[in-house]
Structure 1
Amino acid sequence: MTSAGVNVPGDDGVGNPAAASGSASAPECRTMQRRRRRLEPQGSGDAAAGPSWVRRLRPAASRFSPSPSQGSADRPNDEEQEEDDPDVQEMELVPLPPAGPQELQPADVPAQVWPVAFGSLSMAGRMRMMEDTISLHPDLCTWADGSPVHFFAVFDGHGGSHVSALCRDRMHEFVAEELGKEGAAFLRRRQEWLAWGDGAGAETSAAAFVRGPRGAWPEREEEERAWRSALRRSFRRADAMAALACACGRVARPSCRCPLSSVVSGIVGSTAVVALLVRGRLVVANCGDSRAVLCRGPAGTPPVPLSSDHKPNRPDERARIEAAGGLVVFNNGHRVRGILAMSRALGTNVWWDRLLRPEVIAEPEITVTERTAEDECMILATDGMWDVIANDVACNVARHCLEDGNPPPAATAAAATAGREEEPRCVRATSLLARLAIGRETLDNVSIIVVDLKHRE
């Protein structure tokens, strides 16, 4: 009698000697061999690498080994043993995932990539002096979550280009610095909020938040509050520095000693309309009578105003001026004290004294607008264009230029997109709008920025 349950060289791997003779054992060996061939990987691959599946079996020495009191003659065959033995688990063979980087989860994939292409134009028009300036800074900085922040602005100087040039050179720097501060504070507040919700850090959070029921972290409201705060402080910094600006372009304390410092034409200041594009939102801050308009939807759809002109005859502005002790006088249009044709501006002064304060303030009005797939473009321009071109006309002109059937050369368009240079279609739209304003006999400088908000071939 052969000894059972001991693996020796030449056996079939499960305790049945392959060399054993007899009519009862031969079919059993062939059955196991067929099973082993089905489980072994096919092909001429590397044997050391093993199969691309995993099968868990009971140890070979204990699967079909009979008890000491049981002989080999009364053992059941292999198939009956596998069916009756509860320790044997048949598992589905699942292929292993292919090697390589794992795919991103749906939560990690951005919902939408918001396009940005732009063009600008600035013309003196019928004015002898150029007082407008333009500031273009795509990818100015990043927000707290790593999203890029795009900066576009137009400034309309009065009494000279002192303040508008200062805003062109420094406003984007102020905005980037203030957004950095607000972004750090935003992350800190979110950590405190989450720590409070987890039951930890309640003592540190109590100083920053009112005690009471806490819901989900209000991300949208906190972001908008941070953006508004950063823009307000940036405008205040520009307004404070405007008193030190010289016609030569320098900012000096004490006053600049150059010959141009004595050339003062009375009231010196500037309007400002600043647009920030952050993910799917348009943040617009306006101070003065420059304007930002959003073209949304097909032709004929009314445009969406992103700012409201600060004119002295606007009911709420007039009430504020009169409450501050000022007066709105009709002198070739409604003017504060009969002098300035706008109720808000940066740096409005008579060089040595702030004559029109506090009636004329530098506090911006800020709007936050959600972007949609129907948005065509955004137009920022000084009043030299808006005085003679209505919002809907400007949007129709820009839309037709951007949808022109003769696209720019592919190389030029690719370079504009990759290098954040001005896009030819947007430049064409600003050129046509400026020529239309000159043709309608505008008497002021004309400065225009067109930002394309759609993916175009």
Structure 2
Amino acid sequence: MMVDSGSTAKRPIIDVLPEKDDDGGYGSGGWKSEDGRLSCGYSSFRGKRASMEDFYDIKTSKIDEQSVYLFGIFDGHGGSRAAEFLKQHLFENIMTHSEFIRNVKLALSEAYQQTDREFLESERDTFRDDGSTASTAVLVGNHLYVANVGDSRTIICKAGKAIPLSEDHKPNRSDERKRIENAGGIVMWAGTWRVGGVLAMSRAFGNRMLKQFVVAEPEVQEQEVDQDLELLVLASDGLWDVVPNEDAVLIAQTEDDPEAGARKLTETAFARGSADNITCIVVKFHHDKPSPEEMSQHLEAEMKETQQACEPKLEVSQFQKDEPGPEEISQHLEAEMKETKQACEPKPEVSQLDSEPESEETRQS
């Protein structure tokens, strides 16, 4: 792992990715946090494109003894320079923002726009007009913040359901179209809805010629991390164009290893005909669960409590109260002996006792 030299000593930013991936055609990997709280995997595939314009980044840091994790997908268009610039600078700008931790949403919004200005300044003397999306997820404590510009997307799986935490910035979105037209721009159909008939997204980094309309101000959503939050998926539109949110969750869930899940997602998108670069990150949350020994002890304790609850509970005082005295015992024995004696005496029939023997005269007659 490599420590970012641009970070301060109090806020070390650690890049958890290898310094060099494959040749740009395909790369994947995985990582697990030191505290075991989460694990992640990534997969990036050039696909049918001649060049690779997708970039991704995963970083971690600790501020005031609080762990911070950052995940990002950057999908370039018109070239790869904007996406690569975001990989190099966006997370650093977020982490060094004066309001980070105190006001994460503000820090994200301002760092996005700051990075956009810095990129445009770096390209001032060129004739290029590169642009890029950015979909990032920042985990601070038990709070997840997702910021998005463009049509890359971030979703979560919560209680088994796929929930998008970003909405694609498309020119035909009613609110986006209204914003663009209010700024003096136009949205027109050219194979798909485009800003000025050129760009198929309504917000992006770079794109100097359309900057008045195509802004880099992100939409930010916050999500509490609870026991129901299972996983997180960030991906470029090379995946989302052919894999619905629900399918992405199901595919990621089939693999215990998030790297295997990320690879399966890119393979699925390619098999379904995606013609774009395909990049995704899968993050799995590992909530505190009792060990087998703790589960066994818990079950034994519950069984013991249940057994005790079922046993008859007799008070000693009740035994003392009902215990017969010596006189009562003597009377009871005498009564039993009398009943036994009477039961053992012969009981002649009344008809035999009352009859008299026949006389001689009676027998002769």
TM tier, shorter chain? 0.5 to 0.7
Q: Structure 1 residue 130: deviation in Å? A: 0.6
Q: Which secondary structure state, in structure 1, belongs to the residue aligned with residue 226 of structure 2?
A: coil
1:332 to 191, 204, 211: 191
Per-residue deviation at 1:114?
Answer: 8.2
2:81 alignment partner AA: H
For 1:140, give the aligned amino acid: S
Matched, 1:127 2:52: no
One-letter amino acid of the structure 1 residue matched with residue 249 of structure 2: C
Match of 1:161 in 2: 80
1:115 to 37, 44, 57: 37
Give the whole-Å Cα distance in 2 for the aligned partners of 1:140 and 1:232.
20
Partner SS for 1:401: coil
Tell me the CA shift for residue 443 of structure 1.
1.4
Q: Percent identity?
A: 36
**Could you say which structure has the larger radius of gyration?**
2
C-alpha offsets along residues 76-125 of structure 1, whole Å, 9 cap, x if unaligned? xxxxxxxxxxxxxxxxxxxxxxxxxxxxxxxxxxxxx8822111111111
Cα displacement (A) at 1:242: 1.3
1:348 equivalent to 2:207? Answer yes
More strand by share: 2
Q: Equivalent of 2:70, from 140, 151, 154?
A: 151
The structure 2 residue matched to 1:182, chosen from 92, 96, 99, is 99
Whole-Å separation in 1 of the counterparts to 2:62 and 2:87: 17
Residues matched between the structures, number: 255
**Among 346, 363, 369, the residue aligned to 2:217:** 363
SS in 1 for 2:117: helix
Match of residue 286 from structure 1: 148
* Matched letter for residue 435 of structure 1: E
Taking the aligned partners of 1:235 and 1:290, their CA distance within structure 2 comes to: 15
1:296 to 130, 133, 158: 158
Q: Give the root-mean-square deviation of aligned CA atoms.
A: 1.9
SS of residue paired to 2:216: coil
Q: Whole-Å Cα distance in 2 between the matches of residues 126 and 332 of structure 1?
A: 20
2:242 is the counterpart of 1:323? no
Structure 1 position 454, deviation (Å): 2.3
1:83-232 mapped onto 2 (5 Å cutoff): 115-137=37-59, 139-142=60-63, 145-178=64-97, 181-182=98-99, 223=102, 226-232=103-109
Counterpart of 1:132 in structure 2: which amino acid?
D
Q: Structure 1's 232 and 114: CA in aligned 2 closer, same or farther, altered over 3 A?
A: farther
- Asked if residue 374 in structure 1 is aligned to residue 219 in structure 2, the reply is no
* Contact 1:162–1:245 (8 Å) recurs in 2: no
- 2:353 is matched with none
Match of 1:308 in 2: 167
Tell me whether 1:396 sits opposite 2:250 in the alignment: yes
Gaps of 5+ in 1: 1-112, 187-222, 247-253, 256-260, 350-354, 403-424
User: Whole-Å Cα distance in 2 between the matches of residues 370 and 173 of structure 1?
Assistant: 24
**Residue in structure 2 matched with residue 443 of structure 1 by the alignment:** 275
**SS at the partner of 1:395?**
helix
Partner of 2:262: 430
Counterpart mapping for 1:256-275 below 5 A: 264=128, 267-275=129-137
Counterpart contact for 1:295–1:304, Cα < 8 Å? yes
Normalising by structure 2, what TM-score?
0.67
Q: Distance in 2 between matches of 1:182 and 1:356?
A: 30
TM-score in terms of structure 1 length: 0.54
CA distance in 2: counterparts of 1:327 and 1:240, whole angstroms: 23
| Aligned residue number for residue 299 of structure 2 | none
User: What is the SS of the residue equivalent to 1:157?
Assistant: strand
Letter in 1 for 2:267: R
Q: Shift in Å at residue 297 of structure 1? A: 1.5
> Corresponding residue for 2:114?
237
Letter of the 2:203 counterpart = R
Alignment of 1:403-418 (within 5 A): none
- What are the Cα deviations for residues 344-401 of structure 1, in whole angstroms up to 9, with x where unaligned? 001112xxxxx21211111000000111202110000011100000000000000111
1:233 Cα shift? 1.7
Q: How far apart, CA to CA, are the structure 2 residues paired with 1:448 and 1:356? A: 28
* Structure 2 Cα separation of the partners of residues 128 and 373 of structure 1: 43
- SS of 1:452's equivalent in the other structure is strand
Cα distance between partner residues in 2 of 1:321 and 1:236? 18
CA shift, 1:245, in A, is 4.2
Cα deviation, 1:248-276, whole Å, max 9, x if unaligned, reads xxxxxx74xxxxx66x4xx4110001110
C-alpha separation between the residues in 2 aligned to 1:279 and 1:329? 43
Tell me, in whole angstroms, the C-alpha distance in 1 between the residues paired with 2:43 and 2:216: 26
